[in-house]
Structure formats: structure tokens, C-alpha cells
């Protein structure tokens, strides 16, 4: 075989080119240093410097110096790495020259080197510099404020930056919400999961998204919640069939073909049975078994902590119409309440099993929320909040306090809070009881029951009093 031969390049020409590139680098590095000075306030007027350094906060009012200098720092690192690489390469060329005679490289190798080792890093550094958004100066004449949109400089992926940029109204007027622009929001902990978020937002606009709901859920659970919206098409099961009619769907295991199973241990609904030790989830074992689910809340159990739906509804005849079921489950509570003409929204996370799909395929409403967020309901709107299966002795007391106050907020006066089989260590019961009792709700039912040697159950139905302040 004959190797294709390229004309040899002269070392001096290569050195000349590399010197030229290094010169360019120096310019860029100095430019980015200027940005760093700028970010530290060197180019600002005296007054502005005062605002910079002695302002009320380091970010919100002025601009986010930290994010900006982090971005500039990133670019500087890139440039330094590139410079090191180029210098090392030049040294290598020198060495080779001593070792072999001539010390020349082929044109192809040279081109490849330039493309991969020089032009690409240079390009990405260039883009990173271009992306730094300097704060907009608002106002006229001597009355100016420097304002940066929060978080934008924290991210590099263009799609995140586009998402975060406030969208001004098109006709330059105040919109129906009474604002000049719309802010898309993300959870503040997104900045701690930059890598994952950037992976999540790395897609081609209008093409198919990756099948990465589990990455999304991981981000959400870790505080990147709300997640940014995406502009890609979500995938669906190839085998998707229309759901069963509502008179059948409520109590029938759905068709497994309607779910994408790729991120679960199971591949169909039958596999999620409690008898299977490898089903992939641990909360609410048995809640994919319709025969067991059918008994809940309508048949007497031996446990005093299990109240029946009819008994609870009898507390407020014909008053309970809408509510929230906050817990882990497959929507059975909502299904039973639907039979009583009560509309229940069930919270659900896909922790090891497709809980959201299951609830929706049954013809009920899943609400995909984590514990992080204030509930998306207005004050004094819900007739009922039912909670089971998720809140137990693991939960931090202060977190629980914030959650309970949020529930109190959305519950209407005269609405019912049904705590269903809350359990905790015996020694913690007093703390938790205090949490529930602090709201001075009317006690309709209140039962504790020994679960095991050192654990207790608590079930209660409490009524929010009128608040006429």
C-alpha cells in the first residue's frame, strides 16, 4: 500500500502561524481581563462604584458580579489551557526536530491539529465571551441604574439563556397581567446542578427530546424546580392506544403499551405487583393491584386509624366537591371520591414506577409536583386535603411546618384536612401532634394506634375554622 504523500511544511512557517495565533490569544485574554475589571467596577462612574461595592446586595439590585466573573474565569481557563497546549506542541516540534532530521509534519496532520486543538477551543472561548450579557443601563441621563437579569450569566447553553431572558411584550405596552415582560422561572438550586441542567437543555429545537424524564425528575427533586420548559418533542410509546372509557378505566389495570418503560425495572403493569421483589419501588406496595385497591376507604378494616369515605363525607354532607390528595399512590382515593361526585387531584412522582401515567390512564388527574414547591392553588379554595403514604417520621419538622401552612392556605374555611395513617416514632409523636394542632382546627376524628413496638399511627379529620380577620 502506498501512503498518500503531502508536501512538507516548513517549520518556520508553522512557528510563524502559531505565533500569530498566540498573538490573537493574548488579545482575547486581555479583552476578557478587561471584562473582569469591568465586573469589579473599574469602568464605572464614582457613584456607580459606590453602588457596586456598598450597594444593598451583591446581585439583585446591581448585577451579579459573581456569575459574571465566574463566566470570565471559565473563558480564561479555556484560553490558558489552549496556550499551554500550543506551547507544549511547539516544544514537541523542537524536540522532534533535534531527534529526526527535518522535523516536519504533513499538511493533513497540521490541518487536523489546527482544527481540533486550536480553532475549536478558540471558537468556544469566543462564543463564551460573546455570551456574557453585560447589564443593561436603564433610565436617562444621570439617573441610571445598572440591571442584570438574574442567573443568565450562570449558564452557557444558549437554550437556557434564551429561556431565562425576560420576554418583553411585543407592542411595548403593559400586558393583561400588568407587567412589561414575562419571566420564565427556574428553581434556584439549578445553579448547583449546572452540568445536569445543561445536559437536559441540550437538544435540537423542534426535534425529538431524549427519553430523559428521569433526568428531569432528578433535577426537580434536587431543587431545580421548576425546570425550564423545552422546545423539543416529547417521545410517546409506539404502542399508544386510546384509553379505556371512564366506566371501565377507573378500576382496570391500564394497557402497558401506553407507557414508556425504558427507565423502569418493570416493563409492564403486571410486573409492578407487590409479590415481585424487583418491582423497582418501595412506597405504596400493592397499589398497582386493583383487587386490593378496591377495598380501600369503603370496607371496614380492623384498624381504627382507617376511616371510611362515607363517614368523612358525612361530616359535611354535600359540601365536599373538590380536593387534593397529597401522597404516593395510583389514584384510588380520587377514583372512590369520583364515585361520590367529588373531584380530587392526586399528586404523583414517578418514583420507580409510572404513577403519573397510571393515574391519568385511570381517567383521573395526576399533579406532577415535588415537595419543593408552593402548591399551585389559590388561597381558600379546596374543600378537602387528604394525605397518606408520603408524610411520615422522616420529614424535617421545619419543612413540614412550611408544607402544613401551605395546606392551610389553600384549604377553605370549613374545609377538611384528612390525615390518613401518618406514622412516626413514638417518641416523636408529641412534636408532630403539635404541628397538626397548632392551627386550632376543629377535631372531628383523632385516633392514634400502635403500629409496632416503637412506631405509632395517627389518623385525623380536622376542620379549618373561619378566619374573619
Ligand X SMILES: *[C@@H]1O[C@H](CO)[C@@H](O)[C@H](O)[C@H]1NC(C)=O
Name the CA dihedral angle for 274, 277, 281, 285, rounded to a multiple of 10 degrees: 20
Sheet holding 365-367, edge to edge: 365-367, 343-347, 322-327, 382-388, 411-425, 455-463, 442-452
Please report how close the Cβ of residue 235 comes to ligand X at its closest, in angstroms.
31
Query: Taking a C-beta distance cutoff of 8 angstroms, is the pair 309, 418 a contact?
Result: no
Rounded alpha-carbon distances, angstroms, from residue 38 to 35, 62, 142: 5, 13, 19
Measured from the CB atom, the residue of 209 and 313 that comes closer to ligand X is: 313
Please name the residue that has the C-alpha cell 459573581. Answer: 66
Nearer to ligand X, 248 or 454 (CB): 248
User: Which listed range, 170-178, 240-248, 391-399, 453-461, lies at the site for ligand X (CB under 6 A)?
Assistant: 240-248
Chosen residue from 87, 158, 211, 248 binding ligand X by CB under 6 A: 248
What would the x/- binding string for ligand X be over residues 268 to 297, using CB under 6 A? ------------------------------
Least CB distance to ligand X at residue 180 (A): 13
Does 302 bind ligand X (CB under 6 A)? Our answer is no
Q: How many residues bind ligand X (CB under 6 A)?
A: 10
Whether the Cβ atoms of residue 432 and residue 422 lie closer than 8 Å to each other: yes
CA distance 97 to 288: 72
Please identify which residue in 57, 207, 341, 468 interacts with ligand X, judged by CB under 6 A.
Answer: 341
Q: What's the grid cell of residue 77?
A: 481557563
Q: Quick one: which of 463, 308, 286 has its CA closest to 389?
A: 286
With binding defined as CB under 6 A, does residue 245 bind ligand X?
yes
Which residues lie closer than 8 Å to 33 by C-beta, 6 or more apart? 76
Smallest gap from residue 248 Cβ to ligand X (A) = 5
CA gap 385, 403 in Å, rounded: 12
Least spacing, CB of residue 216 vs ligand X, in Å? 36
Among 30, 101, 247, 398, binds ligand X (CB under 6 A): 247
If binding is defined by CB under 6 A, does position 141 make contact with ligand X? yes
In the list 100, 300, 452, 468, the residue contacting ligand X (rule: CB under 6 A) is 300
Q: How far is the CB of 342 from ligand X (least distance, A)?
A: 9
Residue 46 binds ligand X (CB under 6 A): no
Nearest-angstrom CA–CA distance, 439 and 136: 47
Contacting positions for ligand X (CB under 6 A)? 139, 141-143, 245, 247-248, 300, 340-341
Amino acid at each position: 500500500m502506498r501512503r498518500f504523500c503531502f508536501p512538507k511544511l516548513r517549520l518556520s512557517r508553522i512557528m510563524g502561524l502559531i505565533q500569530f495565533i498566540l498573538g490573537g490569544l493574548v488579545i482575547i485574554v486581555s479583552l476578557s481581563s478587561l471584562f473582569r475589571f469591568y465586573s469589579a467596577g473599574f469602568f464605572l462612574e464614582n457613584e456607580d462604584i459606590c453602588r457596586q461595592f456598598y450597594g444593598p446586595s451583591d446581585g439583585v439590585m446591581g448585577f451579579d458580579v459573581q456569575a459574571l466573573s465566574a463566566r470570565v474565569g471559565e473563558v480564561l481557563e479555556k484560553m490558558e489551557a489552549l496556550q499551554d497546549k500550543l506551547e507544549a506542541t511547539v516544544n514537541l516540534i523542537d524536540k522532534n526536530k533535534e531527534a529526526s532530521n527535518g522535523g516536519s509534519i504533513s499538511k493533513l496532520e497540521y490541518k487536523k491539529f489546527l482544527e481540533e486543538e486550536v480553532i475549536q477551543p478558540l471558537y468556544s472561548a469566543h462564543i463564551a465571551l460573546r455570551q456574557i450579557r453585560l447589564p443593561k443601563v436603564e433610565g436617562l441621563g444621570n439617573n441610571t441604574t445598572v440591571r442584570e437579569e438574574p442567573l443568565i450569566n450562570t449558564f452557557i447553553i444558549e437554550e437556557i439563556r434564551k429561556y431565562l431572558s425576560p420576554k418583553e411584550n411585543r407592542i411595548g405596552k403593559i400586558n393583561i397581567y400588568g407587567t412589561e415582560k414575562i419571566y420564565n422561572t427556574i428553581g434556584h438550586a439549578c445553579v448547583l446542578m449546572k452540568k445536569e441542567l445543561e445536559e437536559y437543555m441540550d437538544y435540537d429545537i423542534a426535534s425529538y427530546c431524549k427519553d430523559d424524564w428521569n433526568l428531569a425528575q432528578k433535577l426537580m427533586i434536587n431543587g431545580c424546580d421548576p425546570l425550564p420548559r423545552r422546545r423539543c418533542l416529547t417521545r410517546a410509546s409506539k404502542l399508544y392506544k386510546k384509553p379505556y372509557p371512564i366506566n371501565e378505566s377507573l378500576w382496570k389495570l391500564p394497557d402497558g403499551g401506553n407507557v414508556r418503560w425504558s427507565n423502569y425495572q418493570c416493563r409492564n403493569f403486571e410486573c409492578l405487583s407487590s409479590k415481585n421483589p424487583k418491582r423497582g419501588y418501595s412506597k405504596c406496595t400493592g397499589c398497582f393491584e386493583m383487587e386490593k385497591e378496591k377495598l380501600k376507604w369503603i370496607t371496614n378494616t380492623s384498624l381504627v386509624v382507617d376511616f371510611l369515605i362515607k363517614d368523612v363525607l358525612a361530616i359535611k354532607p354535600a359540601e365536599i366537591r373538590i380536593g387534593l390528595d397529597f401522597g404516593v399512590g395510583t389514584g384510588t382515593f380520587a377514583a372512590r371520591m369520583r364515585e361520590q361526585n367529588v373531584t380530587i387531584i392526586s399528586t404523583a412522582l414517578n418514583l420507580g414506577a409510572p404513577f403519573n401515567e397510571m393515574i391519568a390512564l385511570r381517567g383521573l388527574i395526576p399533579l406532577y409536583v415535588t415537595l419543593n414547591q408552593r402548591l399551585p392553588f389559590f388561597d381558600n379554595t379546596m374543600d378537602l386535603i387528604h394525605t397518606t403514604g408520603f408524610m411520615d417520621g422522616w420529614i424535617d419538622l421545619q419543612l413540614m411546618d412550611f408544607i402544613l401552612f401551605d395546606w392551610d392556605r389553600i384549604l377553605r374555611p370549613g374545609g377538611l384536612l384528612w390525615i390518613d395513617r401518618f406514622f412516626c416514632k413514638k417518641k416523636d409523636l408529641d412534636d408532630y401532634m403539635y404541628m397538626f394542632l397548632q392551627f386550632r382546627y376543629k377535631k372531628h376524628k383523632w385516633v392514634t394506634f400502635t403500629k409496632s413496638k416503637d412506631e405509632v399511627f395517627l389518623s385525623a379529620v380536622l376542620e379549618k375554622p373561619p378566619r374573619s380577620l
